[in-house]
Amino acid sequence: MIQDRKQKTYQVMEKEAGLAGKNVLEIGCGNGRLTAMYAASAATVIGIEPGVSSIRQAATNVPNVSFLCGTGLELPFNDNVFDIALFSLSLHHHPDYQRALDEAVRVVQKDGLVLVLEPTVQSQIQRLCKVFEDEDSRLCGVRDVLPQCGLEIVSESLFDTYWEFDDFDDVKRYAFSYYNHPPDTSKEQELALFLGSRKHQAPLLLSDTLCLTTLRAQAS
């Protein structure tokens, strides 16, 4: 049986950084998809996300967490507030990676942790999504900036999670809905070409290779 992908991600984060009992800021929390996994064990959690609809859904999904609309480039918090700042598959969406990292460092306590969870370009899910949106340059940009961002890299963990779809039609429904894309025969053909023989599998499994980088905000 394939392990739930959010549960696997939570286990890796807990192993590498220990979210339990910590004050956590999740930057790019989306609809609370990952927040729900660790919220009960953390001391306090605040999620921040620019999309109003996502914030409303997150508040419904994880009612005991505070969610705010905002961006990682201008965090509405005082200095040295959190133990951990977590970029939840979100750093590559910021137009200035270094500024977002600097803001995360500002709001964590001295010697606190900044976690950067990102997809990898070789991920099957990422290759699927590339049919609709090519994020390769942004993902590579994040990988390039991390060793030079002025933070200590404590650990880097590469791991696979898995998405399970009923069949090819289920893949199409997910992809077109996620990108809010109208029916498009050429896109369907691109999806089929990417999947190859896997198109005929039911259920259809695709790996999502993620990387968790744990960085330390060094005390000055």
Sign of torsion, CA 17 215 154 143? positive
> How large is the greatest C-alpha to C-alpha distance in the chain, in angstroms?
57
pLDDT band (50, 70, 90) for residue 5: confident
What pLDDT digit, counting tens, does each position of 70-85 carry? 999 999 999 999 999 9
What pLDDT digit, counting tens, does each position of 150-168 carry? 999 999 999 999 999 999 9
Any idea what the Cα angle at residue 89 is, between residues 61 and 57, rounded to 5°? Answer: 20
Q: State the residue for tokens 């890796």.
A: 12
Q: How many beta carbons lie within 10 A of that of residue 7, not counting itself?
A: 11
Q: What does the mean pLDDT of the chain come to?
A: 94
pLDDT at 174: 95
pLDDT at 79: 96
29 pLDDT higher than 90: yes
pLDDT band (50, 70, 90) for residue 219: low
What pLDDT digit, counting tens, does each position of 100-147 carry? 999 999 999 998 999 999 999 999 999 999 999 999 999 999 999 999
What pLDDT digit, counting tens, does each position of 169-212 carry? 999 999 999 999 999 999 999 999 999 999 999 999 999 999 99
pLDDT at 130: 96
